[in-house]
Amino acid sequence: MYNDFKIKNSEVFSEIKIITPDVFQDNRGFIFTDFLDSFFKDSFTPKLNFVHSKYAYNNAKVLRGIHGDFKTWKLVTCLEGEFLLLVVNNIKNDKEYKKSEFFKLSEKNNFQILIPPGFGNAHYVISKRAMFHYKQSTLYNRKSQFTIKWNSKDFNLKWPIRKKPITSKRDKE
């Protein structure tokens, strides 16, 4: 029914979906659909309704996150450059609590990662610059968010980076 998108499960979490849009490319460049309301309402349970769209433009070696909450779905994609997306399960009673998975997102692969509530996400820029885009099913509310330190020993996070990243004060604490 929706030829614009292909869906598959992530390797670690069945709740996390990798959505690949159908891309039309020729000598002029490319075009693809990144969002179709009916697709997200018809293809997922619960029916997804995104109400907030955000962009983050970052330089090399910037690490943002790990943030999340227990009610928001996020749809993450890379519009320019390349970054590593880390997704972490922070649902304490879940059998996969503290498990994590990395995804490489870029302007070339056009992957979109659908992240359910209870999972935190972070991104680390591996190109000169990168534009991170995500849609949220709720409005941003910092007070309802959790933050996991990017190098938390409790979560045993193994970032494939050699040098200390550039982070915000919130992400260092």
Over residues 75-114, the pLDDT tens digits come to 999 999 999 999 999 999 999 999 999 999 999 999 999 9
| pLDDT tens per residue, range 135-153 | 999 998 889 999 999 999 9
Give the pLDDT of residue 169.
Answer: 82
Distances in whole angstroms, Cα of residue 142 to Cα of each of 21, 68, 124, 168? 30, 9, 21, 15
Average pLDDT over residues 17-41: 90
Q: Give the total number of structural domains in the chain.
A: 1
Residue 116, pLDDT above cutoff 90: yes
CATH number at residue 29: 2.60.120.10
Domain coverage including residue 63: 5-172
Report yes or no on whether pTM surpasses 0.75: yes
